[in-house]
A and B are shown apart, each in its own frame.
Chain A
Amino acid sequence: MMKQLFPIRHVIGYIASLILSAAALVVIYMDLSTTVDLVILSITAIIQASLQLFVFMHIGEDADSKKELYINIAYALFVGLVTLFGTLYIFIWGWYA
């Protein structure tokens, strides 16, 4: 019963999320350069987001719609990232100046 209620995949995914959140704290408690800090945050956040998507949301479980779901999320991320980095490029990284 306990084994059925607490599937090992989910438990490992949860523990991994907690460890990654804790690992991200090094950016405030250690004196690293800004670039290193941002790389650490990006890595821990992207791994955690992927854990949610693949382990908890089971994005690939329905064979009939798997391909469309991946394309949908990839397209959404594409639009989001172009908006984000395009705007940063114009306003923060100096194109406008």
Chain B
Amino acid sequence: MKIDASKPLEYATEENSNKIFGFWVFLGAEIPLFATLFTVYFIMVNRYASGPSGREIFEIGPVLIETFLLLSSSFTIGLAIHAMRHGYKKAMMVFMAITLLMGLGFIGIEIDEFFTYIHEGATLQTSGFLSSLFVLLGTHGAHVSFGFLWGVAIMIQLWRQGINPATANKAFIFSLFWHFLDVVWIFIFSFVYLKGLM
């Protein structure tokens, strides 16, 4: 494997650069995926039939905590990659652990939110509005859950092997995914919750 020392470790081999490029292409496919889910939601948002509307079920408190957790975790994963580039394994792992714990907190609040809706009689089958809401939030939440497991697997490898071209590359790609999830959440926060409550 030819290592180009002028580049950060995660880009250092041709394979590494290609993997990062490939992941950006994947994110380029995730954008239309979420765009279609937002589209369905906007079409369905006023079709709440005999069920509740967004204004009746959305609560701003938990949503603000979710937003804070995801924004902060996006910041800490950025710090983890920064620490990685300086070769600080311990700092990197601490930042990654904080990131994943905040991700877990986010998932917990979202699950609690879903149960609250269901207890209020707002289920997936209640109305077009709720179907599209659950699918949009659920797809994002499934990404965060998958990201949590992925991040844990990378942390185990980092702990065992330290920072090398392979683990650095994986961690960097994971950070791209995590930042992307935050981008999607910004739009959910703004155009689902705030728009629903305004």
Give every chain B residue within 8 A of A4 (Cβ-Cβ).
83, 86, 88
Whether B182 lies near A76 (C-beta < 8 A) is no
Known contacts A13-B75, A45-B187, A69-B24, A27 near B43 by CB under 8 Å:
no
Whether A62 lies near B20 (C-beta < 8 A) is yes
Tell me if B79 is interfacial: C-beta within 8 Å of chain A: yes
Whether A7 lies near B43 (C-beta < 8 A) is no
| Residues of A within 8 A of B (CB-CB), count | 48
B33 closest partner in A (C-beta): A80
A86 closest partner in B (C-beta): B39
Q: How far is the CB of B77 from chain A (nearest CB, A)?
A: 8
Known contacts A45-B191, A84-B42, A10 near B32 by CB under 8 Å:
no
Whether B71 lies near A92 (C-beta < 8 A) is no
B31 closest partner in A (C-beta): A76
Whether A81 lies near B35 (C-beta < 8 A) is yes
Give every chain B residue within 8 A of A13 (Cβ-Cβ).
75, 78
Q: How far is the CB of A41 from chain B (nearest CB, A)?
A: 4
Which residues of chain A have a CB within 8 Å of any CB of chain B?
Answer: 4-7, 10, 13-14, 17-18, 21, 24-25, 27-28, 34, 37-38, 41-42, 44-45, 48-49, 52-53, 55-57, 59, 62, 64-65, 68-69, 72-73, 75-77, 79-81, 83-84, 87-88, 91-92
Give every chain A residue within 8 A of B36 (Cβ-Cβ).
80, 83
Known contacts A14-B72, A52-B183, A87-B43, A21 near B17 by CB under 8 Å:
no
Tell me if B152 is interfacial: C-beta within 8 Å of chain A: no
Q: What is the CA–CA distance of A75 and B35 in the complex, to the nearest angstrom? A: 13
Whether A7 lies near B82 (C-beta < 8 A) is yes
Q: What is the CA–CA distance of A21 and B61 in the complex, to the nearest angstrom? A: 13
Whether B75 lies near A80 (C-beta < 8 A) is no
Q: How far is the CB of A89 from chain B (nearest CB, A)?
A: 11
